[in-house]
Amino acid sequence: MKKNSGFSLVELMIVIVIIGVLAAVAVPIYNNNVTKAKMSEADASLGSIRTQLRVFYGEEGEYPTISPAGYVIGADWNDIKTGEITGRYFVDSSFTYLSADGSSYTITCAAGEILNSDRSLNQAGTLTGGI
């Protein structure tokens, strides 16, 4: 009697089905984690800019007045240097600041092709947009 070696068609089909099920579960989880990473990077950079604004407010008693929105890098009100808020998904020019009256402000991270909408942070600490 000759001994057959190898896998049967049924065994191969079962393995393919198992791999397909695992992939169907893993891909949405991966995509969700990538979205969270993008939001976290935007939020961390917005927080850094907010810290600089608080320092300015503590020294001057008001927020810097900029209208229309200006880029954060190169502004005379902060110590953030070129490349400090550049990450994997966003660059320095993604972030703008707007304050028409010096008592309130909005920092915006432009969505570009990374997020579905701009991510913004105001003086009250409210984050809006992004997904």
pLDDT in tens, 9-38: 999 999 999 999 999 999 999 988 998 999
Task: For residue 6, name the pLDDT band (cuts at 50, 70, 90).
Answer: confident
Q: How confident is the model at residue 68 (pLDDT cuts 50, 70, 90)?
A: confident
Type of residue numbered 101: D
Q: Which two tokens stand for residue 105?
A: 């402000």
| Structure confidence by residue, pLDDT tens digits, 112-127 | 888 889 999 999 989 9
Does 92 score more than 70 pLDDT? yes
pLDDT at 13: 95
| Strand, helix or coil for residue 99 | strand
**Could you give phi then psi for residue 66, rounded to 5 degrees?**
-140, 120
Give me the CATH code for the 10-129 domain, please. 3.30.700
Residue 4 has pLDDT above 90, yes or no: no
What is the tens place of the pLDDT at every residue in 70-88? Answer: 899 988 888 899 999 999 9
pTM score above 0.85: no
d(CA 69, CA 63): 13
* Site of tokens 């320092």: 55
Cα distance between residue 105 and residue 50, in whole Å: 10
